Amino acid sequence: MADFASPTPSPLAFQRAAIAGVGLIGGSVALGLRERGLARRVIGYDASMDVLREAEALGVVDEVQAAPGEWLRECDLVVLAAPMGALGPLAHELAPFLSPDALVTDVGSVKAGIAAELDALGVRGFVPGHPMAGSERGGVTHARAALLENAVWVLTPTEYTSLTALSRARQLVEALGAAPVVMPPEAHDSLVATVSHLPYLVSLALTHLVARDERLSLLAAGGFRDLTRVASGDPRMSRDMVVENREALREALARFRRGLERLEADLERPGDLLAAAAEGKRTRDSLPVVRRSLLPPRHDLVVAMPDRPNQIGAVTQALGEAGVNIKDIEVLAIREEGGALRLGLETAADVARAAALLRGAGYEVRGRG
């Protein structure tokens, strides 16, 4: 029988996994592989010796390598996890040493470029990937296997991707606890241009409108803050993403501009504008709730809050006394239904325990995740 410390390798198990780029995502993949017994040995490679030392000290990897070399030939899984701008050069650096039987994947947030690059390099076992997970705090220090759990992980095979490689990549993603979604690289890039890169640029343009105007920032209330939050992201990472995806982004920008022009024209047709507003509300209200948080990941519990004093204190105190660790907390404004509190807990078991406790105290609760 397997115990927690040395889990039995799953049927998928890799002999030697190389994580090239041991940051937040690479480190989280390494931890997932180790904790779930998916690889016998996990080897970290990074351009920074400091990062490698930290990864080793934190037990994120079994061993480290400071340069590509023959050691790579024995790896049957290679994950390219460098920042966007460094992925291409990294692939070129490693390609000469890759085993033709290795499953190779990457975690870049734009896919068409890197997919074409690896196709051109003739890396046959390559399956481009994009785990849609992140955290406000980067670096291997904040890596956690749980970061990838329940994350949407897009795989974008090209015409050169073998079905065997794609199938193994899918299994890997599932074994790490994430949800694989398969689509062509161009489709992925067009989608993230619309839901991520366009919103970033829009947010930046809105933010620039209030720069150096005190009266504007005085009147800028909740709505404006919501729309400009992503402009507060890391400038270099944000810049690299939008530049890498500029082609798809330009198309998204063109669609957005046409939509905005239509709305501007509707200012003279109040009936049409009302219909557009109602359609927008319906669409927005039906979006699934997925929030990238400071403290990923979470097991959520939503507690309806009766309109009585100090309900936040009562709920957090009851859980604190029962030893339930509250990782995140959010006041939800739910129209017409009064307020609710969303609690981010550590484990599904915590959610079950907290739910039972609060139900017993007369609260209406709903678990999520």
Instruction: Pick out residues in 232-251 that bind a second copy (CB under 8 A).
Output: 232-236, 238-239, 242-243, 246, 249-250
β partners of residue 153: 131, 180
Q: Which is nearer to a second copy, 86 or 230 (CB)?
A: 230
Tell me if 40 contacts a second copy by CB under 8 A: no
Binder among 66, 329, 348, 361 for a second copy (CB under 8 A): 329
Binding to a second copy (CB under 8 A): which residues in 44-73? none
Q: Is 306 in the site for a second copy (CB under 8 A)?
A: no
**Sole residue written with tokens 């899984």:** 77
**CB 222 within 8 Å of CB 260:** no
Q: Looking at beta carbons only, is 49 or 209 nearer to a second copy? A: 209
Q: 224 by DSSP, 3-state: which?
A: helix
Q: Should residue 310 be labelled a site residue for a second copy when binding is judged by CB under 8 A?
A: yes
**Pairwise CA distance, residues 189 & 250, whole Å:** 11
Regarding 167 and contact with a second copy (CB under 8 A), the answer is no
Per CB under 8 A, does 336 bind a second copy?
yes
Distance CA 239, CA 168 (A): 33
Out of 12, 47, 175, 227, the only residue in the binding site for a second copy (CB under 8 A) is 227
Q: What is the distance in angstroms between the CA of the first residue and the CA of the last residue of the chain?
A: 29
Residue 254 Cβ vs a second copy, minimum distance, rounded to whole Å: 10
Measuring CA to CA, which residue among 87, 137, 138 is closest to residue 109?
87
Say whether residue 288 binds a second copy (CB under 8 A): yes
Residue closer to a second copy (CB basis): 98 or 202: 202
Among 80, 156, 203, 300, binds a second copy (CB under 8 A): 203
Element (H, E) at 267: none
* Residue 156 CA: distances (Å) to CA of 198, 238, 251: 21, 22, 20
Neighbours of 338 (CB within 10 A): 11
Residues in the chain: 369
Q: Which is nearer to a second copy, 175 or 227 (CB)?
A: 227
Identify which range of 43-51, 62-70, 160-168, 261-269 contacts a second copy by CB under 8 A. Answer: 261-269
| Minimum gap (Å) between residue 125 Cβ and a second copy | 26
CA pair distance 45, 153, nearest whole angstrom: 23
Regarding 217 and contact with a second copy (CB under 8 A), the answer is yes
Q: Which is nearer to a second copy, 61 or 192 (CB)?
A: 192
Question: Which residue in the set 195, 348, 349, 356 belongs to the binding site for a second copy (CB under 8 A)?
Answer: 195
Contacts of 36 (CB under 8 A, 6+ apart): 7, 10, 145, 175, 176, 177
**Which class for 104: exposed (0-12), middle (13-18), buried (19 or more C-beta within 10 A)?**
buried
> Should residue 230 be labelled a site residue for a second copy when binding is judged by CB under 8 A?
yes
Name residues contacting a second copy, limited to 76-135 (CB under 8 A).
Answer: 132
Instruction: Name 344's bridge partners.
Output: 300, 328
* 304 counts as binding a second copy under rule CB under 8 A: no
Q: Which of residues 131-160 bind a second copy (CB under 8 A)?
A: 132, 136-137, 152, 154
Q: Binding of a second copy at residue 183 (CB under 8 A)? A: yes
